[in-house]
Amino acid sequence: MSASTTARRARPAKTGAGHGRSRPHYGTHIFLTVMAVMWMIPLGWALFTALRPKADTDKYGYFSLGGAFNFDNFAQAWTQGGFPRYFMNSLIITVPTIILVLLCSSMMAFAVSRVNWKFNITLLIMFTAGNLLPPQVLATPLFEMFKLIQLPYWFSDSGSLLNTYISVIIANTAFQIGFCTFVLSNYMKALSADLTEAALVDGAGIWRQYVSIIMPLCRPAIAALATLELIFIYNDYFWPLLFIQSGDRLPVTTAINNLQGTFLSNYNLLAAGATITVIPTLVIYLALQRQFVAGLTLGSSKG
């Protein structure tokens, strides 16, 4: 910053103190409060419906305060809807995907950002573009490819990759690598070149530079990406819908749609099921909010 900007900044700060900063912003608050209330209505309504027994809503109507409020619907939805199974499936799909994505993308990002070779930018562009495609563009051939891959029946009861967790893991991994590679390569590019130059002089090979120098420095970025990916993969609806036919192998997000059939017109149970599905994302958000925000400002802090 030059001296002139600092001098310039000093003056309005004084006038601003009495003016802009401490103004109460009544209009803004009213607008924001109205918007915030509207924003909470859909989820609030689901929660409200979920807390009331069906018998009471039938008696008093859904738009009423009469009757009991309890967690019976949650308990019933949990067992009747088969949530333990679905959450397990989500876990089986999400955890390996995140590990594979971060492993592949960090290696790729290292290679394109820390080593200078002919096609690094070309490859980085290819990775970034791949992530921007609508998944439906590649859905059909991917489905047919997975169907054609023959697997022994002890491994997959469909005899192919269809209807396996692996198919969803592969599709998600391939689709997410591009995004993580792009973010990580930007992050790694911002790390000083001297770090690896020095290591090179000391005779450290590429693998050593990656594992013991660059990766430890990327820990904040990796943590942020892991949080983002956790949400992305948990929320993925499309790939399981496409590849998995057996209902008992679906992850929560895709399975919730089938609950509409299971619970028929019992909206209280459906609302409870929807609320149960929301809970993990909210827990992740509240627990890892810092990582999440870090994900948004990635690369700027590490200068």
Q: Least distance to other proteins from the beta carbon of 75, Å?
A: 19
Q: Binding segment for other proteins among 68-76, 88-96, 132-140, 152-160 (CB under 8 A)? A: 132-140
Determine the Cα–Cα distance for residues 238 and 287; give it in Å rounded to an integer: 27
Give the nearer residue to other proteins in terms of CB position, either 157 or 197.
197
Determine the Cα–Cα distance for residues 136 and 159; give it in Å rounded to an integer: 24
Q: Binding segment for other proteins among 68-76, 83-91, 120-128, 152-160 (CB under 8 A)? A: 120-128
> Does 236 participate in binding other proteins (rule CB under 8 A)?
yes
Q: How many CB atoms lie within 10 A of CB 139?
A: 16
Residues 172, 236 contacting (CB under 8 angstroms):
yes
Choice from 93, 171, 214, 244 touching other proteins (CB under 8 A): 171
Determine the Cα–Cα distance for residues 242 and 236; give it in Å rounded to an integer: 11
195 to 214, contacts with other proteins by CB under 8 A?
Answer: 197, 200, 205-207, 210
13 to 52, contacts with other proteins by CB under 8 A?
Answer: 13, 16, 21, 25, 28-29, 31-32, 35-36, 39-43, 45-46, 49
Count the residues of the shown chain that bind other proteins, applying the rule CB under 8 A: 122
Determine the Cα–Cα distance for residues 105 and 188; give it in Å rounded to an integer: 12
Choice from 168, 182, 214, 222 touching other proteins (CB under 8 A): 182
246 to 265, contacts with other proteins by CB under 8 A?
Answer: 253-254, 256-257, 260
Choice from 152, 216, 261, 303 touching other proteins (CB under 8 A): 303
Residues 163, 246 contacting (CB under 8 angstroms):
yes
Residues 273, 83 contacting (CB under 8 angstroms):
yes
70 to 99, contacts with other proteins by CB under 8 A?
Answer: none
Backbone φ/ψ region at 203: left (φ over 0), alpha (ψ -120 to 50), beta:
left
Give the nearer residue to other proteins in terms of CB position, either 70 or 257.
257
Give the nearer residue to other proteins in terms of CB position, either 154 or 224.
224
Choice from 76, 105, 163, 291 touching other proteins (CB under 8 A): 105
134 to 163, contacts with other proteins by CB under 8 A?
Answer: 134-145, 148
Burial of 186 (0-12, 13-18, 19+ CB in 10 A): middle
Side chain identity, residue 300:
S
Residue whose token pair is 């590019």: 189
Residues 187, 112 contacting (CB under 8 angstroms):
no
Give the nearer residue to other proteins in terms of CB position, either 150 or 154.
150
